[in-house]
Amino acid sequence: MDPINIEGTPKTPTVNFSSDSGVLEIKGRSIPENAVEFYKPLVDWIGSYGDSAQSNTEVNIQLEYFNTSSSKCILDVFKKLESVNGKTNITINWHYEEDDEDMLEAGEDYQAIINIPFKMIEMEEM
Amino acid sequence: MTPSGVMIDFHGEINEEKLSSILSDAETKLEENEENFKKSRKVYNILVESLQNLFHHSDAFGDAELMDGIKKRTTSFILAKKDEEYNILAANFIEMANINPLKGRLDKVNGLDKEGLRNLYKEVLDNGQYSVHGGGGLGMIDIARKSGNKLDYTFAEVNDDYGLFILKIKV
């Protein structure tokens, strides 16, 4: 299936989803006024990916900022991943910058809701 | 930054373009004036949330006028720094009928401690309800959680149908 490659903007993240490598990446900032529009194609892609998934899937989330309009959409991405988790072994790597407790807590909040292993990865600089 | 510490001082009809320019202006000023990266990130996050909140509520009024020459979507937004503390003021018009429900939500948020806010956030995050713009009631909880302070708010009566909602956030 076709990959998703979206360049980041000041309000939306860089997205690289590849079914060939089984690596899904969302990076940068996610502060659009309306996040639903941006995230829907990503959620749909994951649904289709489930039918031809690699045996292992690595999800890298590396966000500097996200607004509450994005919060529920990011949860939707994780829930969709949860729904295909039987067909592929998924790991979610949640990156946060050193000392950014708000971003660490945000990752822990998703971890508490989603039944997929999360790795919290502290980075010196993103 | 002015000697009084005012970094952003906006008064007028907000739209998407103005929102973006205020945000980028604020980001530049925070980079110049705040050495503490953690604080700068926190303040920017809260700015995004409070400005987008203003925008969504005001945008819903369209071009309707409240009184002669003043549109309902007129807002005020101020960011000022004093010593190590940031103060944000956001003001927008609101229908009288919406005041009590909003007051109820704010008082609920203000009644919670750090852990309580985190639990409420998770509960609302996972309740499956979406507002038009997606946030579904997370905004005020997020602002309170990140600022670590109570939401200081007032309502002023404008006429029989409308009030002015003023929110002050300390970070």
What single-letter DSSP state applies at residue A68?
A: H
Question: Residues B142-160: pLDDT tens digits?
Answer: 999 999 999 999 999 999 9
Which residue's structure tokens are 């010593």? B83
Those residues with Cβ within 8 angstroms of residue A65's Cβ, 6 or more apart along the chain or in another chain: A29, A30, A31, B41, B44, B45, B48
Given A33, A64, A101, which is nearest B133 (Cβ)?
A: A33
Contacting residues of A for B121, CB less than 8 Å apart:
109
Question: Residues A39-58: pLDDT tens digits?
Answer: 999 999 999 999 989 999 99
Measured CA to CA in angstroms, residue A82 lies from A52, A64, A93 at distances of: 16, 24, 14
CATH topology of domain B6-170: Heat Shock Protein 90 (3.30.565)
A67·B135 Cβ contact <8 A:
yes
Contacting residues of B for A97, CB less than 8 Å apart:
37
pLDDT surpasses 90 at A68: yes
Q: Which residues of chain B have pLDDT under 70?
A: 1-3, 130-136
User: Which tokens go with A77?
Assistant: 């991405």
**pLDDT for the residue A88:** 95
pLDDT category at A35 given cuts 50, 70, 90 is very high
CA A56/CA B134 separation, integer angstroms: 31
Q: Which of A73, A79, A84, A1 is nearest to A38 (CA)?
A: A73
Question: Residues A14-24: pLDDT tens digits?
Answer: 999 999 999 99
| Residues written for chain B | 171
Taking the CA of residue A116 and the nearest CA in chain B, the distance in Å comes to 16
Q: Confirm if A39 and A76 have CB atoms less than 8 A apart.
A: yes
pLDDT surpasses 60 at A26: yes
**pLDDT for the residue A34:** 86
B122·A102 Cβ contact <8 A:
no
Contacting residues of A for B126, CB less than 8 Å apart:
75, 113
**Domains in chain B: boundaries:** 6-170
**pLDDT for the residue B11:** 95
Angle at B62 between CA B91 and CA B90, to 5 degrees: 10
Given B19, B41, B125, which is nearest A71 (Cβ)?
A: B125
Strands (E) across B68-113 are located at 70-71, 74-82, 85-95
Angle at A25 between CA A19 and CA A31, to 5 degrees: 135
Q: Which of B43, B6, B15, B63 is nearest to B148 (CA)?
A: B43
Angle at B138 between CA A13 and CA A118, to 5 degrees: 55
Contacting residues of B for A67, CB less than 8 Å apart:
45, 48-49, 52, 135
**pLDDT for the residue A111:** 97
Report the share of chain A in percent with pLDDT over 90: 90
**pLDDT for the residue B137:** 80
pLDDT category at A114 given cuts 50, 70, 90 is very high
Measured CA to CA in angstroms, residue B12 lies from A6, B49, B91 at distances of: 34, 18, 11
Q: Confirm if A121 and A60 have CB atoms less than 8 A apart.
A: no
pLDDT category at A78 given cuts 50, 70, 90 is very high
B135·A68 Cβ contact <8 A:
yes
> What domains can be seen in chain A, in order of their start residue?
4-123 (3.30.750.24)
**pLDDT for the residue B1:** 64
> Which amino acid, A100?
D
